Amino acid sequence: MSNVKLAIVYYSSTGTNYKLAQAAAEGAKEIGAEVKVVRVPETAPEQAIASNPAWKAHAEATKDVPEVTHADIEWADAIIFSTPTRFGNMASQMKQFFDTTGGLWFQGKLVNKVVSAMTSASNPHGGQEATVLSLYTTMYHWGAIVAAPGYTDPITFQAGGNPYGTSATAVDSGEIPDAVLQAARHQAKRTATVAGWVKAGQSS
Ligand SMILES: Cc1cc2nc3c(=O)[nH]c(=O)nc-3n(C[C@H](O)[C@H](O)[C@H](O)COP(=O)(O)O)c2cc1C
């Protein structure tokens, strides 16, 4: 997979999706993909961030993570998105970024990107699946190829059984079960692998 470029585009207020993104990066690197982890721009007011110590601490800790650019999206053969659940939907920060991609879409530059998505929610059934599917709705408009994990590896069952995309139950301590991190690694390997097949097919 040495010729596959994978962008991991995430939003995280308190660190859960950042950790999922890091685990996905590890998995893709294990199979030789070139990986960039980038965050979508924060749009919340400073005052809101400052009012939540965990949010403030995470924003401070990750201020050096590069913000995603359109060039990153053009560069990538494969993209994994990770966002917290907000009322069963993606975070508005992620949606705001998606809404800037109209120009790329118009130029056909999003077609055949191989994509998948991850999420977290506070409750075990708090909208994880709906959130991942909400991301995929945009991907279908892009003409991207969704490479969901399905049940392609037994780790999906151990991680809670979400075939649409790896999902974590966010807890105050910030801990994510090892099985979920392994599922994120597997998902990234699969997304990069499928991107490698698509890339090889396009150049044959
Ligand atoms: C406005 C808002 C809406 C949320 N909606 C849900 C929800 O519908 N279901 C749920 O279980 N958790 C919900 N949460 C909790 C977040 O999903 C949780 O804090 C997040 O997954 C943590 O991810 P992060 O650490 O990457 O920020 C909500 C949080 C906020 C601030």
The CATH number given to whatever domain includes residue 59 is 3.40.50.360
**Distance from the alpha carbon of residue 32 to the mean position of ligand 1, in angstroms:** 33
Sequential pLDDT tens for the chain (204 residues): 669 999 999 999 999 999 999 999 999 999 999 999 999 999 999 999 999 999 999 999 999 999 999 999 999 999 999 999 999 999 999 999 999 999 999 999 999 999 999 999 999 999 999 999 999 999 999 999 999 999 999 999 999 999 999 999 999 888 999 999 999 999 999 999 999 999 999 988
- The secondary structure of residue 83, as a DSSP letter, is E
Q: Whose CA is nearest to atom 28 of ligand 1?
A: 86
Range of the domain at 106: 5-202
Helix crossing, 16-30 with 178-202: angle to 10°?
Answer: 50
Cβ atoms of 168 and 20 within 8 Å: the answer is yes
Q: Could you tell me the pTM of the whole model?
A: 0.98
Which atom belonging to ligand 1 lies closest to the Cα atom of 89? 8
- Report how far ligand 1's centroid is from the alpha carbon of 109 (Å): 31
Number of domains present in the structure of the chain:
1
